[in-house]
Chains A and B, each alone.
Chain A
Amino acid sequence: MGMIGAGSDVSPLIRIGGLQKIYAANTASPVHALSSIDLDIADGEFVAVVGPSGCGKSTLLRILAGLDDHDAGDLTLAGKSVSGPSTDVGFVFQAANLLPWLTVRDNVRLPLRVGRAAMAVGSDIDALLDMTGLADFGDRYPYELSGGMQQRAGICRALARNPKILLMDEPFGALDALTRERMNLELQRIWQTSGKTIVLITHSISEAVFLGDRVVVMSARPGRVVADITIPIPRPRSLDGIIGHPEYQRITREIRHLLNAQGEVD
């Protein structure tokens, strides 16, 4: 659980080599969304990805999830080449993306009801709800929950198949600042107790530095990795503790400089 840093000698859980994505590749003016991304992510690592808007960070995540395909390069998850959605991956969407006609429990249970995983034994749904403080809300409908609680349910759903990897696409972007900070703490705790490998896309530098073992900084289109910064701040991190930490201040400043050189941050 929680191997800190990239320099481990076991083969990485996620290996991205020379990954490219071109939109409308067969037209006169193809758009290079991603140009040659190289990234290795170790088992149990928490990697946050920041970048200016339109840098293709969401595209990268969708390719990892098997929702989009790539045009060149290699992509392996747990040694297997990615050719579509995998049960090893749980996806957390921007804004919880719950189904409003299902109760919270049925939403979280959805991954166990559909697809080839329908028979497989997944996580204990009640234990998941318990872990995220939703134990009393299993029979409620999403419209009865606050935004933060909805996204907790979204995270529970992504964990239902007990995947090795959690991919999160700006999951807290729609929340207010206070709820967002609380969710950051919560996510750190979930990551530490579950031992998942997490890739988090965010447009918040402080969120990235608070949560990440590493922060990957991407450039504006065509998306490239311009920096891969290890965050040497010990865990568990606290919101108050990290603000005063000298490394935190140095790293956030460095990332801000990198992003400003790239254009505006979204």
Chain B
Amino acid sequence: MDAAVPAAASKPTAAALRRRRAPRSLALVPFVGLVVLGALWYGAVQFLKVPTYILPAPDAVARALWSGIAISPASPLGYYLPLWGTLKNAALGFALGSCLGVLFGSLMAEFRFFEKLTMPYAFALQSLPKVAIAPLIVIWFGFGDGSKIAISALLAFFPMMINSFTGLRSVEPEKIDLMRSLSASRFETYRIVKLPHAAPYIFAGLDMAVVYAFLGTIVAEFLGAQQGMGVVITQAQAVTDVAGVFAALVILGAVGIALHAVVRRLEHRVVHWAHRTR
């Protein structure tokens, strides 16, 4: 992706222009894949007589999708209200889990005592499939928003903790020497050197955490909820509306891609130096 960024932004040579133009024409390639996939799918359903409760035809999915989109945003039958509910809880869980993740990662990186205290448990929890804790969290927090936020936060927490810890610990010793030679305080070294150095790691963590938080909310909604995309899926499943399930999955996929893109855009803006330094 770095090839798309002009290095000096001053004198674009012919070669640089060619290099920059190439990705734009290649941007259509994934859509070709989509069309081919759609055609194969349609053909399989038509000619192999796959029952619609196993695999609905793409046009049935498209119709289900349209019925959810081309509707008043206030209608409970559309995607807007459920998606809003899911995104709101995922965002709150993401914010909570990410902040706590960076806080714990920082404490572990800065204080050996804290590292020794928490590291074994952090890694034990990390290897536990955290979605398995979801039913327990529903018992603790109930079927309301609380359990959705808690599960999202839990899933977002671990990549953020591990990545910020790793990033903070990977600062080159010369940079620490620089701050020592200036008699900088520990907090100044953290704020001016360690945290910015860890920023690319933290962004890689955010990239994972944002998707995990979204996943966490949907899993929590499967276990029971008033509204949300998880509910849309379980309700469609209950009446064997497989096209409806597929349509909801398309929405979730699109939202996942959009969240990922937002984080990437933000990363390029904040840690622009990291892509060019080496």
Residues of A at under 8 Å CB distance from B? 65-67, 84-85, 87, 89, 91, 93-95, 97, 99-101, 110-111, 113-117, 141-144
Main secondary structure of the interface of A (DSSP, over half): loop
Kindly state the separation between the CA atoms of A65 and B174 in the bound complex, as whole angstroms: 13
Contacts of B127 in A (CB 8 A): none
Kindly state the separation between the CA atoms of A79 and B193 in the bound complex, as whole angstroms: 33
Kindly state the separation between the CA atoms of A67 and B276 in the bound complex, as whole angstroms: 30
Contact in complex: A101, B185 (CB < 8 Å): no
Tell me whether B117 is interfacial, beta carbon within 8 Å: no
**Beyond A93-B177, A101-B196, A114-B192, is A143–B276 a contact (Cβ under 8 Å)?**
yes
CB nearest to A94 among chain B residues: B174
The contact of A85 among B175, B180, B199, by CB within 8 Å, is B180
Contact in complex: B178, A97 (CB < 8 Å): yes
- The list of the 9 closest CB pairs from A to B, nearest first, reads A115-B183, A114-B184, A101-B196, A143-B276, A100-B273, A91-B181, A100-B277, A114-B188, A97-B174
Main secondary structure of the interface of B (DSSP, over half): helix
Tell me whether B274 is interfacial, beta carbon within 8 Å: yes
How many chain B residues sit at the interface, stated as a range, is: 20 to 34
Kindly state the separation between the CA atoms of A116 and B185 in the bound complex, as whole angstroms: 9
11 A-B contact pairs sorted by A residue (CB < 8 Å): A85-B182, A85-B183, A93-B178, A99-B193, A100-B274, A101-B196, A110-B182, A114-B179, A117-B182, A141-B272, A144-B8
Kindly state the separation between the CA atoms of A84 and B274 in the bound complex, as whole angstroms: 32
Tell me whether B271 is interfacial, beta carbon within 8 Å: yes
Contact in complex: A85, B181 (CB < 8 Å): yes
Contacts of B174 in A (CB 8 A): 93-95, 97
Contacts of A101 in B (CB 8 A): 196-197, 199, 271, 273
**Distance to closest chain B CB from A56 (angstroms):** 17
Contact in complex: A97, B273 (CB < 8 Å): no
Give B151-196 interface residues, CB cut-off 8 Å to A: 174-175, 177-185, 188, 192-193, 196
Contact in complex: B196, A99 (CB < 8 Å): yes
**Beyond A93-B177, A101-B196, A101-B199, is A111–B182 a contact (Cβ under 8 Å)?**
yes
Contact in complex: B188, A115 (CB < 8 Å): yes
